[in-house]
Amino acid sequence: MKMMPKLLVASIVAALPALSFAASHREAPAIAFDPAADITDVYAFRSWEDPKKLVFIMNVLPGQEPSAGPNYYNFDDHVAYDINLDTNKDGKADDIVYRVQFKTELRAPFADLPIVYGGVDTVAGLPPAIRGLDGADSVGLGLRQTYTVTEIKGTLSRELGTGTLVAVPSNVGPRTMPDYQDLSEQGIYPLVNGGRVFAGQRDESFYIDLGATFDTLNFRAPPILTADQDGNDFANPFGNDMFSGFNVNSIAIEVPISEVTSDAGAVIGMYASTSRPRYKTINSLGQAVYSGAFVQVARMANPLVNEVIIGAGKKDLWNATKPYKEAQFLDYYLNPRLTGLINTAFGTAFPTTGRTDLVAALLKYPGQNPAKCTVTNPCADLLRLNVGVKPALPAVQKRLTVLAGDNAGFPNGRRPNDDVTDIALRVVSGALLGLPVPKLGDGVNYNIGAKGINLTKNGIYKVFPFLPKPHDGRNRRHIDCNEGGAKPCN
């Protein structure tokens, strides 16, 4: 076997944590069997459309192949989808909860047909093309999901919807849904608190070369970017965007800052969770019956924790645990096992003990002591957002955020197009400790192949719900290496 230069070995080792760094796709054994409750990504940021408002987004149902009919992708009626906020820095994220729950109906005449979506304007006897979520233009929408948005503050709750809320269905194709852009805009609804909500399918905006990574670290180039490559947010220098052409299901909630806090410079914490009823039984008709209180089955805040920090034997326990109980997992942060395995296998010397820098970055508010976890100094995995930081407009957002002088992105909250993979690689390698760290990256710098209007050149969707139009089932395309806009296969 040919020996590799030390620099190349070190750079490949440094890239090991990118196995699932930024997203939470299938990150734990149990949740991999429950895609409707599998949270893939979570975002929290101050709106650049209206800086007086905050935006919270959670994505579920990972890796949606757009053409996978006749049964497409829907939210689950038996899952509570929650956005949980901590406004007093106690780590509990129960000060405000926005809960979204769905109800599915199968509408006539589709109960007697082999499909649930159908319509074309030019064939007699078939429903017209789907141009609406309700009324005559929605006849072809055989399976329809409506939902509620409930604000929970302690023992008090209120419904935020101003009418019937309909989830935007999967983008079947242009014959069935000839103007999906308009259809999705119909799915944006006002809330009684002055905000907006959207639920439906969107483009998978997260970008990473997962294929090369999981082929036993078969990278297409040494994962160290040149200065020119690192500074270019409009090209993928050598990586292949594995998520190109795939979709997710999104819930986006926009609320006025004044509804969350009266402090113009507050730092709030948030995490997203999915929960299911505690009990499931089967009745005499073979139907599932759910009962009991909701039990958390998945959570996500910061975009790397369950993937590369928590041990495999406790990943599902971690998913079921509230963030304010993070102290039981503290050893994983202070003494990251993955780094130790890397050092053993490759002879590197990344710091493996006493990593209070990771504790401070992931589990603490500014000014809190990373050396301990107490009631007054809590450890909690929350995505923290300073609501006083001015948002950056899409045209000037930097994928490397704070590393490139853009303080409106991760780890100050997270925006859909922040390159958390490259940021996390450098942090895990010791950037926060002041160690000299090269420009590590997977060679994927932007969301290639994003479709629709309201887009920047590098795929940032400029308006609410801040994720691009999903790829349609008939014309979907996964842009691979050797194709237009992509790099050669190596």
443: in domain:
no
Identify the domain containing residue 232 by its residue range.
6-433
> So what's the pLDDT on residue 488?
67
CA distance 322 to 320: 7
Residues of the chain whose pLDDT is less than 50? 1-23
> So what's the pLDDT on residue 347?
66
> So what's the pLDDT on residue 26?
60
CA distance 361 to 368: 11
476: in domain:
no
pLDDT in tens, 288-344: 888 999 999 999 999 978 887 898 899 999 999 999 999 999 999 999 887 777 667
Q: Is residue 270 within 8 Å of 93, Cβ to Cβ?
A: yes
268: in domain:
yes
SS3 415: coil
CA distance 366 to 368: 6
Nearest to 97 by CA among 149, 146, 161: 149
> So what's the pLDDT on residue 217?
62
479: in domain:
no
> So what's the pLDDT on residue 342?
60
Q: And the tokens for 271?
A: 């995490």
Q: And the tokens for 273?
A: 């969770």
Give buried/exposed letters for 68-105 (b at 16+ CB in 10 A, else e): ebeebbbbbebbbbbbbbbbebbbbbbbbbbbbbbeee
Residue 411: asked if its preceding bond is cis (omega within 30°), the reply is yes
CA distance 243 to 448: 9
482: in domain:
no
> So what's the pLDDT on residue 490?
61
42: in domain:
yes
82: in domain:
yes
Query: Which residues fall within 8 angstroms of residue 132, CB to CB, at 6 or more apart?
Result: 138, 183, 186
> So what's the pLDDT on residue 14?
34
Share in percent of the chain as helix, strand, coil (round to 5): 20, 25, 55
Number of structural domains found in the chain: 1
Indicate the Cα dihedral angle 90, 93, 97, 103, nearest 10°: -160
> So what's the pLDDT on residue 348?
66
> So what's the pLDDT on residue 210?
83
SS3 181: helix
445: in domain:
no
Query: Which residues fall within 8 angstroms of residue 350, CB to CB, at 6 or more apart?
Result: 13, 14, 339, 342, 343, 428, 429, 430
Give buried/exposed letters for 198-231 (b at 16+ CB in 10 A, else e): bbbbbbbbbbbbbebbeeeeebbbbbbbeeebbe
Q: What angle do CA 79, 81, 86 make, to 5 degrees?
A: 140
> So what's the pLDDT on residue 187?
98
pLDDT in tens, 44-56: 999 999 999 999 9
